[in-house]
Structure 1
Amino acid sequence: MTDPLHSELLELAQEAARRAGELLRDGRPADLAVAATKSSPIDVVTEMDIAAEKLITDLIARHRPGDGFLGEEGASSEGTSGVRWVIDPLDGTVNYLYGLPTWSVSIAAEKDGETVVGVVAVPMRGETYHAVRGGGARATGAWEGERELACRPAPPLDQALVSTGFNYVHEVRAHQAEVAARLIPLLRDIRRGGSAAVDLCDLAAGRLDGYYERGLNAWDVAAGDLIAREAGALTGGRPGERPSRALTVAATPGVFEPLQTLLEDFGAWHD
């Protein structure tokens, strides 16, 4: 039986992601400009990131005023209920800025520190992914009705399609390029989509065999990590560790272990 709290959190996350996605898709100004930068001049925030986060937090706070928040664009509060929302209102901001379709709204709900609900809306695909801890992962939109998600059967590593992302700090991205150059001859190929949340959902949907990235924050992966795991993927960081800023790895079983080993050997986590 589904936990009533989890059902409530899922419904609220889906509604918030839908509304934020509509705002971002339909309200994107023709003259969209950079509102601020984060880690470097090419790591940007637009006014739409900020507006989407406000929409999400305002909606959730009206329904659940005791909950806490952790959001990429500054939402931060402890709350009193034991529930915390981890929000990336626009994952893939540079794609959005340039008019590319691979961006998403990512909303996760934690209960007592454990992620129990994850929703990722990908408006330009017309898709929404969701998962409840222990209840599997599903997607709606591009398919007729709702479908259950499952990772692809594991291929040999040299036939695996793996996605990654690159940091916006020059020294870090240069090192990431070196790691990718060493990996490419050992894989089918590498993709770079530009949204960690979308990459994790593509893994869950069987469109990728693996994904890795260095330098991610909790809001980048909270929802997508749960969706991938509920679809059968393994996720982690360095061997024996959980996903972290040092390294996030996710892959179908059979690809995860050799990919994680190679990333460790190549120093993909290097600070």
Structure 2
Amino acid sequence: MSPSPDLLAELLELAKEAAIRAGSLLRDGRPADLGVAATKSSPVDVVTEMDLASEKLILELIGERRPADGYLGEEGAERNGTSGVRWVVDPLDGTVNYLYGLHNWAVSVAAELDGRAVVGVVYAPARGELFHAVLGGGAYLDGHPVSCRPAPPWGQALVSTGFNYVQSVRVRQAEVLLHLMPEFRDIRRGGAAAVDLCDLAAGRVDGYFERGLAPWDRAAGVLIAREAGALAGGRPGQEPDGDLTVAAPPGLFEQLQQRLDEIGAWRD
């Protein structure tokens, strides 16, 4: 059964409020002496005190407004819900960019209904950009519709990607790029998966792929990219997952997905 328009509108407004409030906290509250609070998968996969503060703000806001909903957040917050709605949140996507004072970071908030993303919001405060999408309703940047670029010829594609923080995975990702670099116009690496997917939605790159994304990395961004006209998947016939996420317009998507599968971009 399709979700009601009233429910989608409620979820979208809450997602926007959560992303904007958390993003404003991150932008305006960033301490001059910001440091690493913890590490995750490797010594270079960092968490700052601001990641934790952002997640706390979002979790408390959603808990107040919709206490029966479930929640999954990057920094460890997780709860089961009873409403069928689950929020999947990256409170600071692009933490290393944020730590270094680069602008490519965002707050990503998605709402799933019965396991399917129906609302996605990505707010990039340092870029002054708010992306959103509702299932079946198109993708928007600052309230204006956006769409991905038409598929270019294979050799003219500008494709973005990212790298894992686990050294052995990064080495394999570099090997994949050795295969692909001669076949593309060029590669871009922004350092924030949610922003990369939104840039695809806005026509700023032709395609995107990455290995190792968690649900919070891709939930909002994949919905936004799809609503902008992109196809998204993992290995052929599969949904985006931790092994591989691929997104591109029809015509390029199939070629990119197949080439990545041939190279074995999903494995060590």
Same-fold status (TM-score > 0.5):
yes
Which residue of 1 is the match for residue 146 of structure 2?
149
Partner amino acid for 1:245? Answer: G
Which residue of 1 is the match for residue 8 of structure 2?
6
2:81 and 2:242 map into 1 onto residues whose CA distance is: 24
**Residue correspondence of structure 1 range 82-161 to structure 2 within 5 A:** 82-140=84-142, 146-161=143-158
1:235 matched to 2:232: yes
CA deviation vs aligned residue, 1:132-168 (integer Å, no higher than 9, x gap): 001111110xxxxx21011111110111000000001
**Residue correspondence of structure 1 range 160-179 to structure 2 within 5 A:** 160-179=157-176
Q: CA deviation at 1:128?
A: 0.3
Q: CA deviation at 1:253?
A: 1.1
2:243 and 2:151 map into 1 onto residues whose CA distance is: 25
2:34 and 2:205 map into 1 onto residues whose CA distance is: 31
- Unpaired runs of 5+ residues, structure 1, are 141-145
Partner amino acid for 1:227? Answer: I
1:147 and 1:64 map into 2 onto residues whose CA distance is: 28
1:23 matched to 2:25: yes
Which residue of 2 is the match for residue 212 of structure 1?
209
Q: Secondary structure at the match of 1:11?
A: helix
Q: CA deviation at 1:48?
A: 0.3
1:12 and 1:169 map into 2 onto residues whose CA distance is: 34
Could you tell me the TM-score, scaled by structure 2's length?
0.98
CA deviation vs aligned residue, 1:89-139 (integer Å, no higher than 9, x gap): 000000000000000000000011111000000101100000000111111
Which residue of 2 is the match for residue 35 of structure 1?
37
2:17 and 2:87 map into 1 onto residues whose CA distance is: 14
Partner amino acid for 2:116? Answer: E
Which residue of 2 is the match for residue 143 of structure 1?
none
Q: CA deviation at 1:2?
A: 6.5
Partner amino acid for 1:136? Answer: G
1:185 matched to 2:156: no
CA deviation vs aligned residue, 1:211-243 (integer Å, no higher than 9, x gap): 000010000000000000000000000001100
Q: CA deviation at 1:261?
A: 1.0
Identity of aligned residues (%): 70
1:133 and 1:2 map into 2 onto residues whose CA distance is: 11
Q: Secondary structure at the match of 1:90?
A: strand
1:57 and 1:14 map into 2 onto residues whose CA distance is: 14
Partner amino acid for 2:179? Answer: R
Which residue of 2 is the match for residue 267 of structure 1?
264
Partner amino acid for 1:241? Answer: Q
Q: Provide runs of 4+ in structure 1 moved above 3 Å.
A: none
Q: RMSD of the alignment, in Å?
A: 1.0
Partner amino acid for 2:26? Answer: L
Q: Secondary structure at the match of 2:32?
A: coil
Which residue of 1 is the match for residue 55 of structure 2?
53
Number of aligned residue pairs: 266
